[in-house]
């Protein structure tokens, strides 16, 4: 079997509910979709969700890389040799992880379809479904509480509350949410690099009664020692997100034991293949893993879900980037029931684009 054609196109989608985090406000997103055709009749589909603030990529740069770099390498090759293809592509698409992730997910889709099994089974098949958290962006306290209660009413049992711009307000926000949703709902907090060490420790101390599960990336991504300082001075688990962009970052964090857990996003690390390698480092270090996402169409979420379902040390799932995307051509690529995500059950990633 050989690859014969590669198509890539961008789709802009508005968010039904715009949101704000510590360093930006978002009301729309643009994903790049891939279609990889083979002479065996199997077609693989992939998704790339560039985020300039995180990876420095744009839809235009992703399309340029796919057509100008990936396509000449892919055409005429055996799509089942995923490791070889990705090793040829990655050096030429350095610092373009979302673009690589698009190619990677399309190749894994072909692999699963050829084997006639879902990707999550190919990767290990550890679990069949995964509870996901749902994110509440930075809002006034009363609106945060209202949003949290609405999500819980829909069946979600894990909330991720965004903050990082005002410690005092963040503390009030968390305490009020806990009071409103009760003790059984899991609450996670993401500061998105908004704090220094002192602010991080103050936040932990003043929200201790709320029973938070974890804090995600409280300090600046370019200063890993700050993360280490927070980790060493508190019992609350500290997670790296923006500080982890590749396999080497995972090794550096683990070698110096700077965090308690890591957030692996396919668009941030370069796809399923690279996520598997990073997960191996995390497991060797005794780290739990969260599989997270950008503002991704459901096809990108499906790829993250298949990876999360496969690996036993993936303890958390934060795959809500497709919620409220208007005009998502891959709507239906994952199934959501009361805060729990399921794959479609079909081979590959489980969804074919028209």
Tokens linked to 122: 């190919």
Task: Give the domain range for residue 315.
Answer: 121-343
Domain contains 354: no
CA distance 148 to 151: 5
Q: Exposed, middle or buried: residue 9 (CB in 10 Å: 0-12, 13-18, 19+)?
A: middle
Same domain assignment for residues 85 and 137:
no
Verify whether residue 109 is a known catalytic residue: no
In the set 51, 57, 109, 216, the catalytic residue is 216
Q: To the nearest whole percent, how much of the chain has pLDDT over 90?
A: 96
CA distance 264 to 85: 22
pLDDT in tens, 17-39: 888 887 778 889 999 999 999 99
CA distance 17 to 323: 9
Q: Kindly give the residue spans of alpha helices, DSSP state H, lying in 188-285.
A: 197-206, 224-232, 247-255, 266-269, 272-285
Give bridge partners of residue 326 from the DSSP assignment: 14
Verify whether residue 146 is a known catalytic residue: no
Query: Where residue 69 sits, what CATH number does that domain have?
Result: 3.30.390.10
pLDDT in tens, 114-162: 999 999 999 999 999 999 999 999 999 999 999 999 999 999 999 999 9
Domain contains 189: yes
Verify whether residue 149 is a known catalytic residue: no
Same domain assignment for residues 13 and 142:
no
Domain contains 156: yes
In the set 190, 213, 318, 328, the catalytic residue is 190
Which of residues 354 and 210 earns the better pLDDT score? 210
pLDDT at residue 20, as a whole number: 83
Query: Where residue 148 sits, what CATH number does that domain have?
Result: 3.20.20.120
Supply the pTM of this predicted model.
Answer: 0.96
Verify whether residue 241 is a known catalytic residue: yes
pLDDT in tens, 279-321: 999 999 999 999 999 999 999 999 999 999 999 999 999 999 9
Q: Exposed, middle or buried: residue 209 (CB in 10 Å: 0-12, 13-18, 19+)?
A: exposed
Same domain assignment for residues 131 and 265:
yes
Verify whether residue 116 is a known catalytic residue: no
Structural domains in the chain (count):
2
Tokens linked to 186: 């899991």
Task: State residue 48 phi and psi, 5-degree precision.
Answer: -125, 130
pLDDT at residue 112, as a whole number: 98
Q: Are 49 and 294 in contact (CB under 8 A)?
A: yes
Task: State residue 187 phi and psi, 5-degree precision.
Answer: -125, 125
Residue 83 has pLDDT above 90, yes or no: yes
Task: State residue 201 phi and psi, 5-degree precision.
Answer: -70, -35
pLDDT at residue 340, as a whole number: 98
In the set 241, 242, 318, 320, the catalytic residue is 241
Same domain assignment for residues 100 and 151:
no
pLDDT in tens, 227-257: 999 999 999 999 999 999 999 999 999 999 9
Same domain assignment for residues 131 and 230:
yes
What's the mean pLDDT in 76-90? 97
């Amino acid at each position: 079997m050989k690859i014969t054609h590669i198509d890539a196109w961008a789709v802009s989608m508005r968010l039904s509910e715009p949101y704000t985090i510590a360093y930006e406000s978002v009301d729309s997103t643009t994903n790049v979709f891939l279609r990889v055709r083979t002479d065996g009749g199997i077609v693989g589909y992939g998704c790339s969700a560039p985020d300039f603030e995180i990876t420095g990529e744009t839809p235009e740069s992703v399309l340029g890389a796919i057509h100008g770099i990936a396509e000449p390498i892919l055409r005429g090759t055996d799509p089942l040799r995923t490791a070889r293809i990705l090793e040829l592509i990655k050096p030429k698409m350095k610092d373009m992880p979302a673009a690589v992730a698009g190619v990677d997910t399309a190749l894994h889709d072909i692999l699963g379809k050829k084997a006639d099994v879902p990707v999550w089974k190919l990767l290990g098949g550890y679990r069949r479904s995964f509870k996901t958290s749902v994110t509440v962006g930075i809002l006034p306290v009363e609106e945060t509480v209202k949003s949290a209660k609405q999500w819980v009413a829909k069946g979600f049992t894990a909330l991720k509350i965004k903050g990082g711009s005002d410690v005092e307000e963040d503390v009030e926000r968390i305490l009020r949410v806990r009071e409103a949703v009760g003790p059984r709902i899991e609450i996670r907090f993401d500061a998105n690099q908004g704090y220094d060490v002192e602010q991080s420790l103050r936040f932990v101390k003043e929200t201790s009664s709320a029973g938070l599960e974890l804090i995600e990336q409280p300090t600046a991504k370019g200063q890993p020692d700050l993360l280490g300082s927070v980790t060493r001075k508190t019992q609350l688990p500290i997670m790296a997100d923006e500080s982890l962009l590749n396999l080497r970052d995972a090794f550096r964090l683990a070698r110096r034991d700077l965090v308690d857990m890591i957030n692996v996003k396919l668009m941030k690390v370069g796809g399923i293949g690279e996520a598997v390698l990073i997960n191996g480092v995390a497991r060797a270090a005794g780290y739990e893993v969260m599989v997270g996402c950008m503002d991704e169409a459901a096809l990108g979420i499906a790829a993250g879900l298949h990876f999360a379902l496969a690996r036993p040390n993936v303890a958390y799932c934060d795959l809500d980037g497709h919620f409220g995307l208007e005009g998502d051509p891959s709507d239906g690529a994952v199934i959501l029931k009361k805060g729990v995500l399921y794959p479609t059950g079909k081979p590959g990633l489980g969804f074919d684009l028209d």
